[in-house]
Amino acid sequence: MISAGIDMGTQRVKVAIIKDKQVIATAQNFSGFEPAAVAQQTLNEALEAAKLSREDVAHITATGAGVDMATFADSNISMMGADAKAGAYFFPSVRTVIDVGAEDARAVKCDEYGIMQDFVVNARCAAGAGTFIEAMARALEVDLEEMGPLSLKAERASTINASCVIFAESDVVSLIHREEPKSEIARAIFDAMAERVTSMVRRLGVTPDLALVGGVAKDVGFVAALKRRLGTEILIPENPIFAGAVGAGLVAARRAKRRQ
Amino acid sequence: MESEKDKTEFWRWLEYHSVMPGKDWRKANVITAGVDVGSVGSKAVVMIDGEIYSWSVLRTGSNSSDSAKKALDWAMQDTGLSLKDFHYIVGTGYGRVNVPMANRAITEIACHAKGANYIWGPSVRTVLDVGGQDVKAIRCDDTGKVVSFLMNDKCAAGTGRGMEVIADLLKIPIEDVGKVSLSVTEEPEPVSSTCVVFAKTEAVGLLRKGWSKEKVLASYIRAMAIRMSELIEKVGCEKEFVITGGQSKNIGIVQRVENILGVKRLPVPNLETTGLDPASAGAIGAALFAKALYEKEKHR
């Protein structure tokens, strides 16, 4: 049986096609100004990659901040629910899933079946989400992809007021004028972000094993900083950005089965 | 024409400078200056014998010390004044440690209270300062001395920077946002997040929902006003109440804060005839401190 999950993120739309509990195809695009159209297009691309048509898909479940824009979906699931499902699917031993996206971050506690038990979210402050790294990369005039590797070269971190992206921007500008090494500024940025995410996870309670998903999980600088702060190992799936879509796709499969 | 209009930077507020007519610094005993390098605007005020002589307000560049120099240069323009004529200069604001010509740096909180006391007189007890990146609620006594204060040192939400971002997105000149926001017939719900970084995302979402520009603006400004009012209520709002900083010109913020608190601010003096500018309150306070410090050091 074939199902699909679509994750309507603030920055990207992600689709995963699931066949018999295996991910057989994925696609992603920037959400842009017309997310509804982008959703349709991304689904089509994923179907094409899987050599399937819309009629082959038994059930589509949508999730993410712009969930209402995926009008073709058969059902919805919360972002926390999708994270829990995906976390347990990638790593059966996982009990805490941390999801850091472009504009929000979450920590979700789940059981061995991927059922969400508890969660905390940060959606009101950009300092704990991927946007923070983007804004700082711009201020440092460094490519976004370079930020992580650059930060790993530093042995110490600069001091910045990193409670807020706007304050941090001002600090970065003055640090550049003082000719502090960019690597040390980059490390300070990741440390600050990891600090915010860590305090969020601690509010939930750190239950091992931990998994990190979401677009920011790809960033080696953030991962290194988060490991330092949490003091534990963190499991990261191969394609962390698709976690929400995969979780939603697995939920879709169950719902399709129930309706049969 | 259309493309030219699209390129307009709606956030870009006007810079200005001026000299008080009929005054001569050459006859003065003490010449001082206050230079307030804020995160968004740099302000300089020149005082002769404790009275305002000239002033300037311009946008802060990426280098604080350059901005400080530019601001003071602009306040001295066409006056014949040069740096060596000053007896004492005080730097203040976010970039106060980077004011190269200053004899001393003093926090902007003390300077704003002192400046408000000078602009409106000894009855001022509560000062709301809304700057580019920060909001401060200051309580002071009848001499302009700070009694207590609170500021948003952890988050820039609800500050001038956010207003600039929204003005640019909605293509409404920053000078008009206050007035336009008051044109709605019914006050909308405030936006859920005033985070400067998220302001755009949320506003785009509301526009997509079919909200008018005016309604989105009113919603954002209302959220800003609620945040500011909470800060003032925490420090306690005692009359008389005044608003300083660049956003004191934003009538949309002023009226909403007044409504929430149930208190009217003291009226803004005429800048051209008095030289008293609430946006320069910090620089005015710094110039006053400069005079006091000069006199104290001279008598030592």
pLDDT in tens, A10-65: 899 999 999 999 999 999 999 988 899 999 999 999 999 999 999 999 999 999 99
pLDDT of residue B2: 41
Report the pLDDT averaged over residues B175-197: 90
Beta sheet of B16-19, edge-to-edge order: B16-19, B51-59, B41-48, B31-37, B88-92, B104-105
Q: Which chain B residues touch A167 with a CB distance below 8 Å?
A: 133, 156
Q: Which pTM does this prediction carry?
A: 0.80
Task: Find residues 72-111 of chain A whose CB sits inside 8 Å of chain B.
Answer: 103
**Closest in B98, B193, B196 to A166, CB measured:** B196
Query: A184 by DSSP, 3-state: which?
Result: helix
Q: Which chain B residues touch A102 with a CB distance below 8 Å?
A: none
CATH superfamily label, B2-121+276-298: ATPase, nucleotide binding domain (3.30.420.40)
Distance CA A178, CA B22 (A): 43
Report the pLDDT averaged over residues B267-272: 91
| pLDDT classification of B153: cutoffs 50, 70, 90 | confident
Helix, strand, coil proportions of chain A in percent (round to 5)? Answer: 50, 20, 30
* B94: Cβ contacts below 8 Å, ≥ 6 apart: A170, B37, B38, B39, B64, B108, B133, B134
Report the pLDDT averaged over residues B17-26: 93
Report the pLDDT averaged over residues A103-113: 94
DSSP β-bridge partners for residue A120: A107
Please tell me if residue A170 touches chain B, with a CB cutoff of 8 Å. Answer: yes
Distance CA A103, CA A74 (A): 26
Domain borders along chain A are 1-91+238-260, 92-236
CATH number 3.30.420.40 is the correct assignment for the domain at B126-261: yes
Please tell me if residue A124 touches chain B, with a CB cutoff of 8 Å. Answer: yes
pLDDT of residue B3: 47
Angle in degrees, CA A36, A41, A44, rounded to 5: 130
pLDDT of residue A178: 81
Which tokens go with B298?
């001279």
Of A257, A211, A253, A218, residue with least CA distance to A232: A211
Report the pLDDT averaged over residues B137-151: 96
Domain borders along chain B are 2-121+276-298, 126-261
Per the prediction, chain B carries an average pLDDT of 91
The Cα of B53 is separated from the nearest Cα of chain A by a number of Å equal to 32
Query: B36 by DSSP, 3-state: which?
Result: strand
Q: Which chain B residues touch A170 with a CB distance below 8 Å?
A: 39, 94, 133
Q: What percent of chain A has pLDDT over 90?
A: 80
Flag whether pLDDT at B143 surpasses 70: yes
Beta sheet of B135-140, edge-to-edge order: B146-151, B135-140, B126-130, B241-244
Please tell me if residue A10 touches chain B, with a CB cutoff of 8 Å. Answer: yes
**CA B253 to chain centroid:** 13
> Residue A220 is which amino acid?
V
* Distances in whole angstroms, Cα of residue A232 to Cα of each of A211, A213, A225, A229: 11, 16, 11, 8
**Closest in A125, A132, A173 to B62, CB measured:** A173
Backbone dihedral angles phi then psi of residue A105, each to the nearest 5 degrees: -140, 150
Flag whether pLDDT at A212 surpasses 50: yes
CATH superfamily label, A92-236: ATPase, nucleotide binding domain (3.30.420.40)
Flag whether pLDDT at B56 surpasses 50: yes
pLDDT of residue B199: 79
Flag whether pLDDT at B183 surpasses 50: yes
Query: B195 by DSSP, 3-state: which?
Result: coil
Which tokens go with B106?
């003093």
Architecture of domain A1-91+238-260: 2-Layer Sandwich (3.30)
Report the pLDDT averaged over residues B263-292: 95
DSSP β-bridge partners for residue A110: A116
> Residue B73 is which amino acid?
D
Most B CBs within 10 A among A164, A169, A174, A179, hence the mutation to make, goes to A164
Omega within 30 of 0 (cis) for the link into B134: no
Asked if the domains B2-121+276-298 and B126-261 are classified in one and the same CATH topology, the answer is yes
pLDDT in tens, B69-118: 999 999 999 999 999 999 999 999 988 888 899 999 999 999 999 999 99
Report the pLDDT averaged over residues A170-177: 83
